[in-house]
Amino acid sequence: MASSAAHHATGWAAGVIAAAIVAHSRAGGPYHVWVALAFAAGVAGSTAPDWLEVAWWSRTRRLWITHRTATHWGVAWIALLVAAYHWLGHYPVAAALFGFACGGVMHLLADWPNPLGVPWIAARHSLNWWNSGRCDLLVVGAAWVGAWFAVTRFGGVGWHAGYWLRGLGLG
Ligand SMILES: [Zn+2]
């Protein structure tokens, strides 16, 4: 995997993207509570493919799913993302689900360039750009460029990006 620091840093970006899109879709709910939830779920989702495969409830914490198989399956994450997007504004839980899926997809993107690859559809595919942990800055930078794009494009509607970014210590 990309380093866990990189997954966290890209996860925050995924949360920002999810929050901006939820806000834009006017599914923000009272006091933008679903926007905040989408953000938190994005952060949680960005590490989910790695913690879902660990038996964290057991003392030994062994892997109960082989690393980078089922929990890193691109089809499932993207299907969840698309479904949750369609549910935005219809079901309150959709915002959190959407955020979680944003985080998951972001995780796969961060894992993709290193040699182990990601099983997007069936077989694992790797971009083979660099080894795990290398070029984290590039991955994180790309994620935040995406986040910046999402905020400037979607963030204007009923949501004050500046306020949130200042809260994150970024603005
Ligand atoms: Zn991973």
Which of 43, 60, 150 has the alpha carbon at shortest distance from 100? 43
Within 13 A of 92's CA, how many CA atoms are on the CB side?
7
Q: Which two tokens stand for residue 72?
A: 């890193």
pTM of the model: 0.82
> Measured between alpha carbons, how far is 59 from 30 in angstroms, rounded to an integer?
41
Q: How far is the CA of 49 from the centre of ligand 1 (A)?
A: 6
User: In this structure, what token pair is assigned to residue 103?
Assistant: 């985080």
- Cα(146) to ligand 1 centroid in Å equals 20
pLDDT 10s digit of each residue in the chain, 171 long? 467 888 999 999 999 999 999 988 877 777 788 999 999 999 999 999 998 998 877 887 788 888 888 899 999 999 999 999 999 988 888 999 999 999 999 999 999 998 888 999 988 888 888 887 778 888 899 999 999 888 888 765 444 555 555 566 554
Kindly give the distance from the C-alpha atom of residue 163 to the centroid of ligand 1, in angstroms, as a whole number: 32
Choose among 99, 95, 54, 101: nearest CA to 73. Answer: 101
Cα distance between residue 70 and residue 62, in whole Å: 16
Ligand 1 ion: residues within 5 Å (CB): 1, 49-50, 111
* Centroid of ligand 1 to alpha carbon of 83 (angstroms): 22
CA of 112 to the centre of ligand 1 (A): 9
CA atoms within 13 A on the CB side of 72: 27
